[in-house]
Amino acid sequence: MIDIIIGFLVVIPLIFLNDLMLLWGKKDPQKALGIVSVMFGMNLVILIVYGFLLKPDEPTNFILGLLAAILTVMIRKIKKLINETL
């Protein structure tokens, strides 16, 4: 159970980074496609570094926490984008 929570804690830097990227996309809409690839790459780097630094005892539960964090960030990002367009 602790491994799931530790895996889910990656949501903190992911939310910060995604909010920053969304503000950048709002400021300069012409670079939106480039910002998407930068956001994907930076999220990937954060997840890989976080996973290798912690090296959990039970990787299955840790990966479950990582997946829950990714899903949470994606849902939050989609909600923000939908609210901005309405």
Buried/exposed 40-66: b ≥16 CB within 10 Å, e otherwise: eebbeeebeebbeeeebeeeebbeebb
pLDDT for res 23: 87
Residue 31 lies in a domain: yes
pLDDT digit string (tens) for 1-41?
Answer: 888 899 999 999 999 998 898 888 888 888 878 888 888 99
pTM greater than 0.75 (yes/no): yes
Higher pLDDT, 43 or 25: 43
Whole-angstrom distance, CA of residue 75 vs CA of residue 27: 22
What residue numbers bound the domain in which 24 lies?
2-81
State how many domains the chain has.
1
**Do 62 and 72 touch, CB atoms closer than 8 A?**
no
Residue 86 lies in a domain: no
Residue 65 lies in a domain: yes
